[in-house]
Structure 1
């Protein structure tokens, strides 16, 4: 079984309700387990941070209502419920660009569509292009360039189109 087949298995399992898959062939054995965490728990985490920021700001500056009013109209707070997370399909090193002198695959505000490359993850000296499986606008990049990532770690938040 080659690396591409393993990646495809992971994608299929992520989309299904299969909890665990084990495959054994001669001297090769692989077990793929799906995490119990729902996407909503990952997406819901930033919402309280945005919701609490205006409260803290208005409490810290009660004399001035202008900063509190502008902070209360932050567009990210009400939209946090409908965001989709693009997660890492493997363990490796996350790269936003194909090389240091090239532009990033996606920036905040860019539109993505299924099949568009959003990043590269280097695993065992192989550079794997990670493609979006959703359509929408990139709202946040959750990982720094050249950082290690874990399997199923959130990489991007996307507002669906």
Structure 2
């Protein structure tokens, strides 16, 4: 295969990009074999930026209401009012540990550094590590392992 782009390859790449848009996938990789030593590998990816979603103040989400504050820590009326809130950046299923049976990423009282993984959110069969946005101590964990979360849902409070 010569190195100049062929019209069929360009059409193929455009079709893959359109498939990403239609299916809300973030990336796709395909290998096309033309012969023994003639392979075209195409990876098409896109960056998704989530639009801000208005959050109703005063209506606690089920996971936050289900978990009480640790002893000696006063419960905030609404976790979204807490300045240390870490909110979900996406819709998915939250996991507090890397795999079943392993220790959790963080526990109440742990000190975290900025960028440290605090939990995972599975979205569209992809495990997304959620980093601590700033250093601090884990004050409350507002979700249960394996529970579904919405965009903007309270996950953890750092102090």
TM-score of the superposition, structure 2-length normalised? 0.56
Paired with 1:129 and 1:100, the residues of 2 have a C-alpha distance of: 16
Paired with 2:129 and 2:59, the residues of 1 have a C-alpha distance of: 23
Name which one, 1 or 2, has greater alpha-carbon Rg.
2
How many pairs were matched up? Answer: 108
Paired with 2:119 and 2:59, the residues of 1 have a C-alpha distance of: 20
Q: CA 1:42–1:117 in structure 2 vs 1: closer, same or farther (change >3 Å)?
A: farther
Aligned residue for 2:106? 106
Aligned residue for 1:5? 47
Give the superposition deviation at 1:101.
2.1
Q: CA 1:153–1:126 in structure 2 vs 1: closer, same or farther (change >3 Å)?
A: same
Give the superposition deviation at 1:151.
0.8
Matches of residues 84-103 of structure 1 in structure 2 within 5 Å?
84-103=84-103
Instruction: Say whether residues 1:115 and 2:95 are aligned partners.
Output: no
Give ranges in structure 1 of 5+ residues lacking alignment. Answer: 11-32, 51-70
Paired with 1:123 and 1:112, the residues of 2 have a C-alpha distance of: 24
Matches of residues 53-64 of structure 1 in structure 2 within 5 Å?
none
Instruction: Say whether residues 1:76 and 2:74 are aligned partners.
Output: yes
Give the superposition deviation at 1:41.
6.1
3-state SS of the aligned residue for 1:99? Answer: coil
Q: Which has the higher helix share?
A: 1
Give ranges in structure 2 of 5+ residues lacking alignment. Answer: 1-19, 21-25, 28-45
CA contact (8 A) 2:53 2:151 kept: no
Paired with 2:82 and 2:52, the residues of 1 have a C-alpha distance of: 22
Paired with 1:109 and 1:149, the residues of 2 have a C-alpha distance of: 23
Q: Deviations over 1:94-144 (max 9, x none)?
A: 000110121100000001121100001111111110101111111111011
Paired with 1:90 and 1:157, the residues of 2 have a C-alpha distance of: 17
Q: CA 1:129–1:139 in structure 2 vs 1: closer, same or farther (change >3 Å)?
A: same
Paired with 1:5 and 1:36, the residues of 2 have a C-alpha distance of: 22
CA contact (8 A) 2:115 2:133 kept: yes
Aligned residue for 1:135? 135
